[in-house]
Chains A and B, each alone.
Chain A
Amino acid sequence: MSGENGFEPRIVAYVCNWCTYLGADLAGTARLEYPPNVRIIRLPCTGRIDTNLVVKAFEVGADAVLVSGCHPGDCHYTAGNYHARRRWMLFRDLLDVVGFDMRRIHFTWISAAEGKKFQQTITEITEQTRALGPYRPYACGAGASACQPAPSGGAGAFACQHSQAQLRETAARLLSEGAVKVVIGYGARGPIFVTRPEDAAGLLWNETCFANLTTYLKRKEVRALGKPAIVVKGCDERALVVLEKESQVERAEIYTIGMACQGLGQPKCAACDTHQPGFADETIAADDGPAPPPAADRYAALDALLEKPPEERLAFWTAEFDRCLKCYACRQVCPMCYCERCLADKNRPQAIDSSPTRKGNFAWHLSRAIHLAGRCVGCDECTRACPAGIDLRLLNLALARAAETKFGYRAGMDPASEPLMGAYSLTDKEEFIG
């Protein structure tokens, strides 16, 4: 039975070797008929399935994708499916915010004994996809208006002479005592690296100090300077917490100078609830400025986007990503993007199209966002750095909210918590898994 115009859906099924693949085998040996529309790709474990593989399947012409593995408790590798479950919980929210058609992605647990369930699942997905029609990659909805993010409030300029003087004193002291070799702080045009006590006068503390300097801890040229002291605001400090959790920095090898901050007028500042650094080696108090305003709803901009129907969300992101130049400023400013070789730079084979085409840009931004799930501290540096003005923070916010509402987790708030994506719970909600 064919759909309209003889359309036959192509369905890609990523299945685990130990359960669903054997379930499919059983369906075959038991002579259970199911539509031939499915292309089965066998992988060791659902825990191995990179979200990029799902994006790839749609890129090369899949009309629907199924991911299926062992029932909870049955994983051949003990916990691969629990990790997968948590990953898909987050990835689904990301796809939803970009307006992806969620009816084309399916998750099931099918054991080696469930040939019948495999047959039914494939039959159902095929029929449903046939009714949906072919998948049209990143089609731009007609007549959709560009989404304007919710207006952001923020504190304006602030008096800071006293804190700035204290910061300079601290920096000069640390350098002359030999406690550190370099102070990473803010200068007139941006980040500066002060190595001599007499140069500490170049350090500034004002409303232009919005960069998150922790990103320099990954740079080998900066590491080569020796033990650093780093100037952090309460929001930046959260990045250090994550980096330490991921074994990227040793706090004992860094001296942190915390700056209490009343907000710098950036969009993120309106919703800030971490004005006061909590873990710094030394905190310079803000006793010369107004008290920070109460934190606004940090998801307001996301809600404004989610009020729109999926087609308009997709149209919004299509227009945003169409401006992407693939300059990778978003990646390079991010303190969490510390991989020595990014997935996007792997070209044997090419994991993500390097071309700044619609296809290549969607694949890149989805991949970047999901890799930051449970890790992004919301510093918005990616958004600030983007020369094309792409509102990347909305993707980060979608994942931050998924982490907060589903797992009660906020990245970089608790040094003792397990990393969100590195952990799992037996009680993770799986209402979306068939």
Chain B
Amino acid sequence: MNVLTREELRKLVGEWIAAGKICTGPVRVKPELVLFERLAKADDLLLDGWVRPANSIKELVLPRHEALYGYRIEKNRIELVDQPETAPEQIAIGAHPCDAAALPILDKVFNWDYRDDAYNRRREATTVITLACAERDEECFCTSVGLGPEAERGSDAILFDRGDGSFLVKSLTEKGRALLGEGAANGGAANPPPARFDAAQVASFARDHFDDAFWKEHALACLACGACAYTCPVCHCFDIVDEGNAREGVRARNWDACQFPLFTLHASGHNPRSGQGGRQRQRIYHKFYLYPEKFGEILCTGCGNCARNCPVGLGVLPLVAKIPHAEPV
């Protein structure tokens, strides 16, 4: 199958939903807000009219809240409740290349010194059907981190909008072929964002200017919320909490974000990263220096969600654009 009309795609999605697969795609939640949400029906899937949803598909593999195990206490008996061995099959439809590419990047940290079962269960059960980008805005910078509007990385299949109510289909993996058949089409005319910065310069600046006044100066507007990290496709820090009572409860992991002062607060009361400048530095440092050093990958897909969601106009691109000598080469 090389071409799918919109109706055919919706019909397929409807069939997947009817077969009990969890389908996630862009949904207009409010007049000015598009989010990746679980599709209750195929008609909810929004295939155009947006640059990208305000959240990301990382929630499919790293939910904002996930019970790792639970306990129940009855009289003298304590029962531990494990999570199921397998995760339900889930399909992301209409992810962009900047979402799809997040998954292989995240695979590295979740399979490094410890194989994270909860993550891998979900990852194995996930199929990503990417929609190559037809639109972009001034916050997009995928080309500055090695991706592009038709990048195939992390996708199981990719769709190219032909602009006539149909999509060209290219299946990339077994999972993709299982859902969409043997599509082998190639992309249309992409409209890539211009290169905005040189990631290697950002990395060397971060490495060599740890104590530079730059960070403090450019983080003044930061209000220390987690909107950037929580809508980022690759920010993956989490906190472990125990929630329950004398009868039952869970140990869960919740998203956490490096912009919160609480993120680094020690039990003693000491906070080694005491100012917002250091916290903004950490975000850039981790994405452009630490993660590449350790895993050979930039921890950023250039989606621009951080900037779109920041209430005060910060984000990766606005910040690194100010780094000296980071202009694109």
Pick the 10 closest A-B CB pairs, nearest first.
Answer: A190-B313, A189-B313, A385-B311, A327-B226, A329-B225, A332-B225, A332-B223, A389-B33, A387-B309, A190-B312
Select one of A190, A211, A345, A350 contacting B262, CB under 8 A. A345
Select one of A192, A219, A353 contacting B243, CB under 8 A. A353
Complex contact B225–A333 (CB within 8 A) = yes
In the complex, 18 of the A-B residue pairs with CB atoms within 8 angstroms, ordered by the A residue number, are A189-B318, A190-B221, A190-B312, A216-B221, A220-B275, A323-B35, A325-B231, A327-B225, A327-B229, A327-B230, A327-B257, A332-B225, A345-B262, A350-B243, A355-B65, A387-B227, A388-B35, A389-B30
On whether A211 and B312 interact (CB within 8 A), knowing A325-B64, A357-B65, the answer reads yes
Whether A328 is near chain B, meaning CB under 8 Å from some CB there, is: yes
Most buried by B among A192, A327, A345: A327
Within 8 Å CB of A388, what residues of B? Answer: 33, 35, 54-55
Complex contact B254–A356 (CB within 8 A) = yes
Complex contact A326–B254 (CB within 8 A) = yes
Within 8 Å CB of B254, what residues of A? Answer: 326, 354-356
Closest chain B CB from A167 CB (angstroms): 18
Whether A221 is near chain B, meaning CB under 8 Å from some CB there, is: yes
Closest chain A CB from B270 CB (angstroms): 15
Closest chain B CB from A146 CB (angstroms): 9
Within 8 Å CB of A332, what residues of B? Answer: 223-225, 311
Complex contact A60–B33 (CB within 8 A) = no
In the bound complex, how far is the Cα of B211 from the Cα of A158, in angstroms? 43
Whether A331 is near chain B, meaning CB under 8 Å from some CB there, is: yes
Give B residues with C-beta under 8 Å from A.
29-30, 32-33, 35, 54-55, 64-65, 216, 219-221, 223-227, 229-231, 239, 241, 243, 245, 252, 254-255, 257, 260, 262, 275-277, 309-314, 318
Closest to B30 in A: A389
Complex contact A356–B64 (CB within 8 A) = yes
On whether A191 and B312 interact (CB within 8 A), knowing A326-B255, A331-B225, A389-B33, the answer reads yes
Whether A237 is near chain B, meaning CB under 8 Å from some CB there, is: no
Closest to B32 in A: A389
Q: How many A-B residue pairs have CB under 8 A?
A: 110
Closest chain B CB from A20 CB (angstroms): 26
On whether A328 and B225 interact (CB within 8 A), knowing A193-B220, A357-B65, the answer reads yes
In the bound complex, how far is the Cα of B219 from the Cα of A48, in angstroms? 39
Closest chain B CB from A135 CB (angstroms): 16
Whether A222 is near chain B, meaning CB under 8 Å from some CB there, is: yes
In the bound complex, how far is the Cα of B312 from the Cα of A216, in angstroms? 11
Closest chain B CB from A291 CB (angstroms): 28
Within 8 Å CB of B255, what residues of A? Answer: 325-326, 356
In the bound complex, how far is the Cα of B223 from the Cα of A189, in angstroms? 15
Closest chain A CB from B294 CB (angstroms): 26
On whether A219 and B262 interact (CB within 8 A), knowing A350-B243, A354-B254, A355-B252, the answer reads no
In the bound complex, how far is the Cα of B313 from the Cα of A190, in angstroms? 5
Closest chain B CB from A340 CB (angstroms): 9
Within 8 Å CB of B275, what residues of A? Answer: 220-221
Most buried by B among A360, A387, A389: A387
Complex contact A387–B65 (CB within 8 A) = no
In the bound complex, how far is the Cα of B276 from the Cα of A220, in angstroms? 9
Complex contact B220–A333 (CB within 8 A) = no
Which of A210-231 touch B at CB < 8 Å? 211, 215-216, 219-222
In the bound complex, how far is the Cα of B243 from the Cα of A353, in angstroms? 7
Within 8 Å CB of B310, what residues of A? Answer: 190
Within 8 Å CB of B227, what residues of A? Answer: 327, 329, 385, 387
Whether A93 is near chain B, meaning CB under 8 Å from some CB there, is: no
Closest to A389 in B: B33
Closest chain A CB from B309 CB (angstroms): 4
Closest chain B CB from A227 CB (angstroms): 16
Closest to A382 in B: B311
Other than A384-B311, A389-B29, give 20 A-B pairs with Cβ distance below 8 A.
Answer: A190-B221, A190-B314, A193-B220, A193-B221, A219-B220, A220-B275, A323-B29, A325-B231, A325-B255, A326-B254, A329-B225, A329-B226, A354-B239, A355-B65, A355-B254, A360-B65, A385-B225, A387-B231, A389-B30, A389-B32
